[in-house]
Amino acid sequence: MPRAFKNWLQAYVHHTRFSESPDSFHFWTGVATIAGALRRRVWIDQLHFQWTPNFYIVLVGPPGVAAKSTSIRAGLSLLEKVPGVAFGPSSTTWQALTEALQNAQDFVEIEGRPTAEVMSCLTIGVSELGTFLRPDDKEFVDTLVAMWDGQKEVWRRQTKTQGETVIHNPWINLIGCTTPAWLKDNFPDVLIGGGLTSRMVFVFADKKRQFVAYPSRLVTPATFKEEEEYLVHDLLQIAQLKGEFTISEAALEWGDEWYRAHWMASRSSHLASEKFAGWWARKQTHLHKLAMVLSAAKRDDLRIEKEDLEEALTLVTDLETDMQHVFSSIGVSHSAKVSNEVLTFIRNHKQIKLQDLWKLCFNTTAQKDFSEAIVAARDAGFIKIVGKGETQMIVYTGSALAGNPLSTATQPLQYQGKASQSSDKGE
């Protein structure tokens, strides 16, 4: 039977149409799901290195608002029905992680290769990133960095108790959930933009897409089950893809032009901070990783077309807005954090008496810091002060600019990807 859907990712996002989670959470969960099915069995060879379709995707949002964990479970539950896919532990040490990789070792027959390829591939779903990742554990972070890069050399580690660990073609595909507060408390400023975070895909949302108290009332069990069966059917076919991706001539020409423009141009103003230097340097890699998934979602030909790279660029560039929201409060000064909190109260009220605003902040903010925050917000043009004495009012006048220490993400992001609301079922 041919594929049921012309585009698996579009069909998957449509399948989640009655969820409260934003489209972006479901789309990137779909990306992680296809990546988990592909494993390291496909790649783009650049002689000195390979691009492989694995991701470190992190869904970021306040607790209990955007249904992050529910989004992940929806995709990985489909992947669990694909034979041969190995899942890694959601809480572990780097030693236990490498042991899990060893246990996942597989021998893959690839057309044109005289012998089977040895590879160890894991997909890991983490409902709370903090149970899996400790940013201060340098060896664990270094291990994750090495696994994302997909280099061709054998990976080795030496320990006193276990001796030498040797893994051929290790590969980790990770999707996890966390909150802005956890990132702020656990990611020091020096880590942002560095080795690990520049390899991560951060997807942010702070509001539900819609309010659905009882999803089961909106779709019949039979329809839901049928959609799942078709999605699994296509995922099984995607999991059979093996071999090297080729890049069409038109795609190569587009990629050459984009690469030169990318490095010759100055970074966009919203990415000017050194926090984003690592991301900027690895954007080409993110682009090609995603292009493989986009191609596999639609076709079996292991070919990257120009349209795949163009779509990948749109989707990857969209993430940069999310990154500003995620990292806006990391590494900023104490006074900026106070200003941020005070401005949040003002923005939510639109206008408020100065005395009432002080009552809201009284238990958490020193009066000197509070007064300086009001002056800073006024000087930045975010508020105006009206009246005098006890009747003095604070009026919010405009949105905080992205990248400004006073900014706080309070508006839901408009998903700019190409995942449509049509299931696009094949003929």
What pLDDT, in 10s, does the model give residues 164-208?
778 888 999 999 999 988 888 887 665 666 688 889 999 998 888
Angle between helix 221-238 and 8-15 (nearest 10): 150
Q: Could you give the CA distance from residue 321 to residue 268 in angstroms, rounded to a whole number?
A: 11
pLDDT interval class at 401 (50, 70, 90) = very low
What pLDDT, in 10s, does the model give residues 108-117?
888 888 888 8
Question: Which has more confidence, 192 or 130?
Answer: 130
Instruction: Please name the amino acid found at residue 411.
Output: Q
Question: Which residue bears the tokens 């532990």?
Answer: 89
Q: Which of 399, 350, 367 is nearest to 375 (CA)?
A: 367
Identify whether the C-beta of residue 417 lies closer than 8 Å to the C-beta of residue 25.
no
68's CB contacts (< 8 A; 6+ apart) are 21, 25, 59, 60, 61, 127, 177
Angle between helix 221-238 and 23-38 (nearest 10): 40
Q: Which of 39, 32, 56, 403 is nearest to 196 (CA)?
A: 56
β-pairing, 117-126 vs 200-204, is unpaired
Is the pLDDT at 419 greater than 80? The verdict is no
Identify whether the C-beta of residue 275 lies closer than 8 Å to the C-beta of residue 331.
yes
Mean pLDDT of 298-327: 92
pLDDT at 192: 67
Q: Which of 248, 138, 151 is nearest to 195 (CA)?
A: 138
pLDDT at 339: 83
pLDDT at 190: 58
Q: Which residues of 374-397 are buried (b: 16+ CB within 10 A; e: fewer)?
A: bebbeebebbeeeeeeeeebbebe
β-pairing, 200-204 vs 56-60, is parallel
Question: Which has more confidence, 45 or 272?
Answer: 45
Is the pLDDT at 100 greater than 80? The verdict is yes
Is the pLDDT at 307 greater than 50? The verdict is yes
Mean pLDDT of 144-149: 87
Is the pLDDT at 250 greater than 90? The verdict is yes
Q: Could you give the CA distance from residue 158 to residue 384 in angstroms, rounded to a whole number?
A: 61
DSSP annotation of 331 reads: T
Mean pLDDT of 248-268: 91
> What's the burial of 21, exposed, middle or buried (CB within 10 Å: 0-12/13-18/19+)?
buried
3-state secondary structure at position 105: strand
Cβ neighbour number for residue 252 with a 10 Å cutoff: 14
Is the pLDDT at 252 greater than 60? The verdict is yes
Mean pLDDT of 413-423: 37
pLDDT at 268: 67
pLDDT at 332: 59
What pLDDT, in 10s, does the model give residues 221-242?
999 999 999 999 999 999 999 9
pLDDT interval class at 143 (50, 70, 90) = confident
Question: Which has more confidence, 415 or 387?
Answer: 387
pLDDT at 161: 61
Q: Could you give the CA distance from residue 48 to residue 206 in angstroms, rounded to a whole number?
A: 41
Percent of the chain at pLDDT exceeding 70? 87
Mean pLDDT of 12-37: 94
Mean pLDDT of 261-266: 85
Is the pLDDT at 373 greater than 80? The verdict is yes
User: Cα 179 from chain centroid?
Assistant: 13
Mean pLDDT of 81-97: 88
DSSP annotation of 43 reads: E
Q: Three-state SS across 153-221?
A: CCEEEEECCCEEEEECCEEEEEEEEECHHHHHHHCCHHHCCCCCHHHEEEEECCCCCCCCCCHHHCCCH
pLDDT interval class at 327 (50, 70, 90) = confident
pLDDT interval class at 402 (50, 70, 90) = very low
Question: Which has more confidence, 51 or 387?
Answer: 51
Identify whether the C-beta of residue 306 lies closer than 8 Å to the C-beta of residue 250.
yes
Question: Which residue bears the tokens 């507060």?
Answer: 181
Q: What does each C-alpha distance from 200 to 30, 156, 203, 337 come to in angstroms?
A: 16, 23, 10, 25
pTM exceeds 0.85, yes or no: no
Is the pLDDT at 126 greater than 90? The verdict is yes
Is the pLDDT at 392 greater than 50? The verdict is yes
What pLDDT, in 10s, does the model give residues 29-85?
999 999 999 999 999 999 888 999 999 999 998 887 778 888 999 999 999 999 999
Identify whether the C-beta of residue 395 lies closer than 8 Å to the C-beta of residue 386.
yes
266's CB contacts (< 8 A; 6+ apart) are 272
Identify whether the C-beta of residue 227 lies closer than 8 Å to the C-beta of residue 423.
yes
pLDDT interval class at 283 (50, 70, 90) = very high
Q: Encoding tokens for residue 94?
A: 């780097």
Mean pLDDT estimate for the chain: 85
Q: Which of 323, 270, 318, 315 is nearest to 288 (CA)?
A: 315
Q: Could you give the CA distance from residue 98 to residue 123 in angstroms, rounded to a whole number?
A: 13
pLDDT at 157: 74
Q: What is the dihedral of CA 204, 175, 244, 47, to 10 degrees?
A: 80
pLDDT at 294: 98
Weakest-pLDDT range from 128-132, 154-158, 173-177, 257-261: 154-158
